[in-house]
Every structure is written in structure tokens, then in C-alpha cells.
Amino acid sequence: MAFSLARIAARSLHTSCRRNALSKFAMPAMSPTMTEGGIAAWKKKEGDTFSAGDVLLEIETDKATIDVEAQDDGVLAKIIIPDGTKNVSVGSPIAIVAEEGDDLSDAAQMASEAADQPSSKPTTKEEPEPSTPPTSDAPKDPVPQSHPREARPELAKGDRIFASPIAKKIALERGIPLSKVQGTGPEGRIIREDVEKYQPSASAAAPATPTAEYVDIPISNMRKVIGTRLTQSKQELPHYYLTVEINMDKVLKLREVFNQTLGEKDKAAKLSVNDFILKAVARALVDVPEANSAWLGEVIRQYNKADISVAVATPTGLITPIVKDVGSKGLATISTETKALAKKARDGKLAPQEYQGGTFTVSNLGMFDVDHFTAIINPPQSCILAVGSTKPSIVPTPEEERGFKTVNIMKVTLSSDHRVVDGAVGARWMTAFKGYLENPLTFML
């Protein structure tokens, strides 16, 4: 989603002075809560001209990668913050821009001055060179030199090795075979210094080189925010959980009929079980509006519409795009909007207004064959519904000749914030939700 800037940079009236022709281009705030972001990629090179509407760069926020468009014509004189830089503060200079025809000779100096400002200097990954440890002075007491002496053949297996206790301890800790250490103590006794100076031969050391058994993956801005928010939610919100089993036979039959009808008009159109779930959630929120609320500290805000956040897994982390006013939409519209939002989420192209807000969240892992799980509330929301897979189950049925029958059961768990939604309220909402899915024709009433 393109983010139009109000102005490329604050610019003084253009005068004949060439130094005033250059302007600093600051890191923009892509959302009201954004304090820092990353430079994903510059789409223009130094010296390139651009027109209003051209994409200058891509900025990585905590939720998505967003295009930044130019509103005016100009020239990208100098890039201060390169591609791939993270944790750039909002308002920090990231480039020098000018108008076409301006003198760009001072751009490098202006960029250098801007980069030297502490507030705008991004964190770098350069590590200081390790300082060389001070070498200790040679001991005053004469110590026999070990280098010029002749190499002693390795001791035969089972021969006694004479070594001081401290030498044995150090050798054990470092994995040094004493049979290969040449002693310089009395009568060839191995002392501490011999063990500390021991250097295995190249042929012996090669097999002992450990191979890397792990990979360090840099933490993206999105992953960092997810970790912070979910940890805060789990620690501060008094979660409680309600689980019910729902007979999905009627939903599956109705879905099959609807998909046959839709397929005749558009082969790509296809309703999912999740579309029915979102509709049932919205209808249940109308019946029990207390569950459609948010804790705001001094007040509890109860919403009139069901803006449902749908959890979507992306390569960089979890994001929850919002299907607005689900209660007023039909199943086909819900399906179309959900698929479009999920694709934009995976492509990192969601606009801030498409994932900020929401009044209730649904997290569905049924497609991964997960029977049951609990989810963490996304504050300031008060509820999140964890949806498991639908599986055939045998249930007692006294009226049947066999005494039982096979039905398709789906298990769902509601996580609620006890500050807002009491246990009885959560139970009433679950009853309403279950009723709509077990009698899906009520969607049409």
C-alpha cells in the first residue's frame, strides 16, 4: 500500500544559494504508534530523478513492508541509510533530496553531517575489534625451555604418567591427553605450564574441530513486536478458557450445496469452513455484545460492529488483518475479502488500517490437523477464539438402532479477559456461537 508523504521534506524558499537547494528526507511514521522502522529497499538510486507518485523506497514496519511514494518531483541526491538497515528512528534523516537542475555537489557533505547526528544514527552491527590481551612478563624464576628439547615419543598405553594434580585437572577440563604432553618438570613430570602451553598437531586438531549445529536468525521488527505484545498480554491479562465441541454436519452439507452453486458461476469461488465460523462469530457478538469489548484502562469500550481480526501466518510472523463489519456481509463477500487480505498479508502489502484495530480475533489451525489449542488474547481486545480441526467422532444416540452414530465434531476454545468478560458471559457467547454453527440456516434469517 502506497503511503503518500505530505511533502518530501521541509524546504525553505528556493534561492540562488546552492546549499539551500538540498533538503533532508526524514524517516516517515507509517502509523500513529510507529517509533522506528527498517529500510527494506530503495527503489531509486543516487542521482535518479523521480516524479510525484513514484515509489522511492520500501519501509519495514512491525507489521508489513510499505511503499513510500513521492508527492513532488525531484532528485535523490544522496542515500544516508542503506538497504537492510533496521531500527531507524522516525524523523531521522535517511536521504538528501533536491529539485531537478539543482547543484548536488554539497550532497555528500550534507549527508555526512546528518549521519553524524546521534539522534539519526542507526544502530549498526559492527562489533569492536577484540582487544589484544596483555602479555604477561616473563617469570623471574628460570624455567626450562620446552621448545628446543627433542620430542618425546608417546607413552605406550597403560604406562604410568607422572603429572602434578593441577596439571591433571586442567588437562581433564580442556580434554587434553596427558600421554601427548611433554613434561618439563623433574624427571619429565608434567606440570601446569606444560598443559597450558600444549598445542595439538594439525593432523590431530582437524577432527576435533566442532561443526556448527545451529543457525542464528536475525529478529525482524515484526517478530520483536509479536514477542513483546504477546508476553505482555500473557503476563498482564487474566486469561481464562472455555472449550466446547460443535457438530459441524449441517455446515459441511450447506457448504457443499453453496459451493456447487457458486462453482457454476465462478469456478474459483469456494466457501471455506472458516467463512461460516466468522459469520457465526459476528452473529454471536450481536447476541452477547459484552464479548465485543475492549479494556481501555478507565473504561470498557463496547463495539456496535464486529470487526474480526483473522490470524494469518506469514514468513516473518503472525499478523491479523481485519474483516470489517462481518455481521452485515454475506458468506461470499466474507470469503472474498478474507482471501484477499490473507494474500496481502503474506506478500507484506497490508496497509496500517487493514490490520490496526479489530474487536475480536479468530485463530484457526484446523487446516494443520490440530484438534485443540488455546490462543493468547490480542489486547486491547477481550476475546480470541482458537479453532481446531473437524473430525468424525462417534457419539451415543439412543434413538438409533445401533445406539450410536458418526458426526463431524469441531473443538473450539475461547480465551477471555476476565476483567471484561465474566465466565458466565463467555459461556453465553459460546452457547450462541455453537447454536449458529449447528443450525447454519439461521445465518439467512
Active-site positions read: 418, 422
Cell triple for residue 257? 450445496
Q: Give the alpha-carbon dihedral of 312, 313, 316, 322, to 10 degrees.
A: 0
Q: Are 413 and 433 in contact (CB under 8 A)?
A: no
Give the Cα separation of 346 and 354 in Å (integer): 13
Beta bridge partners of 317: 314
Name the one residue in this structure whose C-alpha cell is 509479536: 226
Q: Please provide residue 336's backbone torsions phi and psi, each rounded to the nearest 5 degrees.
A: -65, -45
The CA distances from residue 389 to 113, 260, 269, 312, in Å, are: 58, 23, 22, 16
What number of CA atoms fall less than 13 Å from residue 96's CA on the CB side? 23
